[in-house]
Amino acid sequence: MPIHTDSHGEEVSQDPKVADEFSARDATMMCNRLAKFIILLVLFLLIIVELPGCSWFRRQEVHNPDELALKGMQAFEDEDYRDALKAFSTLKERYPYSRYAILAELKIGDAHYHRKEYPEAIAAYQEFASLHPKNEAIPYVLFQIGACYYEQLETEDRDQTPTREAISSFERLVKAYPTSPQSDKAKARIQICRELLAENELYVARFYYNSKHYKAALARFQLVLSDYSDVISSVTHREVEELVVICKRKVADIIE
């Protein structure tokens, strides 16, 4: 078997089988070292990314009010209301005295509205109206407050608090800004809300009537005629009048 000496003067076997064994062993060791290195590198990167305030591997945050306003508007136009809300909220908190602060306050309400977060939208709009009562956007803000309640309308057999709140908001708009672009639309929605209230009163009145609580039913039927005669059909109007007569007779019989 051939023998030769290496650079240190030691004898090294030239047997092909032995050489192959050494080569395989060296390759395995190198693979293991490489795998360990990759694992350590991945762990290092994960730790770096999670470090608070670290921006090595993150997109640079926007801090400038102009950039935040632009980012918010772009997100809004893309209907990404989550990112829009985040941008405008950051703008409002960090730069309350910037020229974009009022825009941010308004758009926070709009973003909540489009996300169907109506209580949050109402709070934002009300805050805007309180802080900027003379702002040109107030008619729009008042309409949006009404719209938030309007979007929460229930059927005639459910609680009608949102209906009444919507009417109150829309009436405030119509009274204060009768010539505003939102006024006509507010009037139309007031009519729809009043029709729903009439249906609710009729629902309750019929429930009392069918339960033989004629005095309570009479009060409800009379309320429909006095407050909602302009939003019920002529057929319904005649029906209610007839029910009023019947209820009065039933109440009289009970008293006797």
Cα distance between residue 186 and residue 147, in whole Å = 9
For position 15, what pLDDT does the model report? Answer: 52
- Tell me if 82 is assigned to some domain: yes
**Distances in whole angstroms, Cα of residue 233 to Cα of each of 109, 157, 217, 230, 236:** 38, 19, 20, 8, 5
Q: Does the pLDDT of residue 243 top 80, yes or no?
A: yes
Q: What is the pLDDT of residues 53-63, one digit of tens each?
A: 554 444 556 57
Tell me, yes or no, whether 171 lies in a domain.
no
Say which range, 38-42, 66-70, 115-119, 135-139, has the weakest mean pLDDT.
38-42
Quickly count: other Cβ atoms within 10 Å of residue 141's Cβ: 25
What is the band of 237 on the pLDDT scale with cuts at 50, 70, 90? Answer: very high
- Pull the structure tokens for residue 136: 């040109």
- Residue 88's domain spans which residues? 64-115
Number of domains comprising the chain? 1
Q: What secondary structure does DSSP assign to 129-166, as a single string?
A: HHH-TT-TTHHHHHHHHHHHHHTT---TTS--HHHHHH
CB atoms within 10 A of CB 136: 8
Band the pLDDT of 22: cuts 50, 70, 90. very low
Q: What is the pLDDT of residue 253?
A: 83
Decide if 122 is inside a domain. no
Alpha helix locations (H) across the chain? 16-50, 65-77, 81-94, 101-114, 118-131, 138-150, 161-176, 183-210, 214-227, 234-255
Residue 77 covered by a domain: yes
The answer to whether residue 37 is domain-embedded is: no
Residue range 15-30: mean pLDDT, rounded = 54
Report the percentage of the chain scoring pLDDT > 70.
75
Return the C-alpha torsion angle 85, 86, 92, 95, nearest 10: -150
Let me know if residue 54 belongs to a domain. no
| pLDDT tier for residue 168 given thresholds of 50, 70 and 90 | very high
Residue 251 lies in a domain: no
Question: Is 228 contained in some domain?
Answer: no
Handedness of CA 119, 125, 126, 128 (dihedral sign): positive
Mean pLDDT, the chain, whole residue set: 86
Average pLDDT over residues 126-142: 97
Q: Three-state SS for 63?
A: coil
Residue in 196, 212, 223 with CA at minimum distance from that of residue 247? 212
